[in-house]
Amino acid sequence: MKKLILPAALSAAMLLSLAGCAKTAAETPKTTMADGTYTAEMDDASAEAAYGWRDRLVVEYKDGALVSAVFDSYDADGNKKSETTPDTYPMDPAPSAWMPELNDQLLKSGGSGEIDGVTGATMATNNAKAMMKAILDSGVAGETVVVSEPTAG
């Protein structure tokens, strides 16, 4: 009899300790988005730190799935950083080279924002992740969520 009680007690203790590791409903991120177009952009301080370029992310959901993700930066005149030339925006790699890769990663993430990022575009990658998170957390189709600069880390 004693031989049966000890293994049963140990099994029960293990099960109880594992139950504390389970995620609660509040910890589970929202994964299904209503159909529509969602926009997030970085705040004024972020645009000022980026020499006047404001990062913006526009994503579209259809049937609950992410079908489009477009990240770009805009200056005060509405010019797109992805369309700059080395003469007008000397960055290596050029934004026209890395922005399509960043957009592809965002799309392939399915909207989770879990992306590797792009070499040479760390700030933009971090902003894209922060904007995707803001859209998932509080985005409303047809409205723009303004995001503060993400902290380093």
pLDDT (tens digit per residue) in 100-138: 999 999 999 998 989 998 988 999 999 999 999 999 999
User: In the structure, what pLDDT confidence band is assigned to residue 8 with cuts at 50, 70 and 90?
Assistant: low
- pLDDT at position 151 over 90: no
Q: Where are the domains of the chain?
A: 31-147
* pTM confidence score: 0.77
Q: For residue 39, what pLDDT is reported?
A: 98
* 5-28 average pLDDT score: 48
* Dihedral angle sign, alpha carbons of residues 67, 71, 74, 79: negative
Question: Cβ distance 46 to 146 under 8 Å?
Answer: no
| Domain 31-147 = CATH 3.40.50.150 | no
User: What is the pLDDT at residue 7?
Assistant: 53
HSE-CB at 117 with a 13 A cutoff on CA atoms is: 12
